[in-house]
């Protein structure tokens, strides 16, 4: 999984430009937690990036632990936390090696972060670690990009985002098994009028519905809801509509005593 060393600098500005609704996502997570779980205090934001969702969840009253494998992303999250005086704990850990000091009431992993894992083995290991640190009856809420999105939306396409002081050229290359290699070229305007270019390259795996469901069940979760994107609209595999993103709500089954 990429460390996002170059991407971190531009991440918040770019997400703001595309209008990512962190507040709406946090409120949706809040509704699911209150609907499906008796406990609603400690939430782990897995692959938290620069902490945008962690901050929104904290504002809703949760004790939040943000976990990410990128020191550069977490440096930004930590600075924002200190500037705003927020009570959030940030940990620098690879999600396949999640290691907490206790069990959480819910673990959330948003914005197709699981698609960034390089193999089914890495996904399996991540869900195993999440299961280990989720309390009985606690929730694992995550979303994945669908194969449909990888083939039809991302594909071998190019997108350009132009802001006041930098431009991002996003180029995709669709490979085997619906894997997409993503190249982000950032062109930042310098004081002398020149542009400095930096590049970030990473991959996303296409993920079939059954792959995610198989692994969460293997590690002690039951799937209690599957939704189209960041909505309350339940998704059925039998319908003809193909969403770009599917969100799973899973509950940790009681451990054998």
Model confidence pLDDT, tens digit, residues 127-181: 999 999 999 999 999 999 988 899 999 999 999 999 888 999 999 999 988 999 9
- In this structure, are residues 137 and 37 in contact, taking their beta carbons and an 8 Å threshold? yes
Q: What is the pLDDT of residue 238?
A: 59
pLDDT surpassing 50 at residue 2: no
Q: What is the pLDDT of residue 1?
A: 42
- pLDDT band, residue 257 (cuts 50/70/90): low
Q: What is the pLDDT of residue 169?
A: 96
At 198, is the secondary structure helix, strand, or coil? strand
At 202, is the secondary structure helix, strand, or coil? strand
Q: How far apart are the first and last CA of the chain?
A: 36
Q: What is the pLDDT of residue 164?
A: 87
Q: What is the pLDDT of residue 241?
A: 65
* 73-129 tens-digit pLDDT: 999 999 999 999 999 999 999 999 999 999 999 999 999 999 999 999 999 999 999
How far apart, in whole angstroms, are the C-alpha atoms of residue 236 and residue 113? 22
Q: What is the pLDDT of residue 69?
A: 96
The one-character DSSP state at 256 is P
Average pLDDT over residues 58-78: 97
* Rounded-to-10 torsion of CA 120, 124, 125, 127: 130
How far apart, in whole angstroms, are the C-alpha atoms of residue 110 and residue 108? 6
Average pLDDT over residues 201-220: 89
- Mean pLDDT is lowest, of 9-13, 17-21, 155-159, for 17-21
Q: What is the pLDDT of residue 73?
A: 96
* 36-53 tens-digit pLDDT: 998 889 999 999 999 999
Q: What is the pLDDT of residue 165?
A: 87
Q: What is the pLDDT of residue 240?
A: 53
CA-based nearest residue to 205, from 124, 134, 129, 141: 124
* 211-255 tens-digit pLDDT: 889 999 999 999 999 999 999 999 876 555 678 899 999 999 999
What's the order of all strands across the beta sheet hosting 245-252? 88-92, 63-68, 42-46, 104-109, 134-145, 245-252, 221-228
């Amino acid at each position: 999984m990429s460390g996002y060393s170059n991407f971190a600098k531009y991440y918040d500005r770019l997400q703001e430009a595309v209008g990512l609704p962190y507040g709406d996502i946090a409120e949706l997570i809040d509704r699911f937690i209150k609907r499906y779980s008796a406990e609603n205090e400690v939430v782990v934001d897995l692959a938290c990036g620069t902490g945008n969702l962690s901050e929104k969840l904290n504002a809703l009253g949760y004790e939040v632990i943000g976990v990410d494998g990128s020191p550069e992303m977490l440096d930004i999250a930590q600075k924002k936390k200190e500037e705003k005086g927020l009570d959030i704990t940030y940990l620098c850990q690879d999600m396949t090696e999640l290691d907490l000091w206790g069990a959480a009431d819910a673990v959330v992993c948003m914005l197709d972060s699981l698609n960034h894992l390089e193999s089914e083995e890495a996904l399996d290991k991540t869900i195993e670690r999440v299961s280990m640190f989720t309390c009985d009856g606690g929730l694992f809420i995550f979303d994945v990009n669908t194969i449909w999105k990888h083939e039809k939306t991302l594909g071998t396409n190019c997108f350009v985002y132009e802001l006041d002081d930098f431009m991002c050229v996003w180029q995709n290359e669709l490979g085997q098994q619906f894997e997409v290699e993503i190249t982000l070229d950032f062109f930042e305007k310098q004081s002398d009028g020149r542009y400095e270019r930096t590049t970030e390259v990473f991959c996303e795996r296409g993920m079939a519905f059954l792959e995610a469901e198989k692994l969460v069940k293997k590690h002690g979760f039951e799937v209690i809801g599957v939704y189209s994107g960041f909505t309350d609209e339940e998704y059925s595999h039998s319908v003809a509509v193909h969403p770009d993103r599917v969100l799973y709500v899973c509950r940790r089954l009681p451990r054998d005593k």
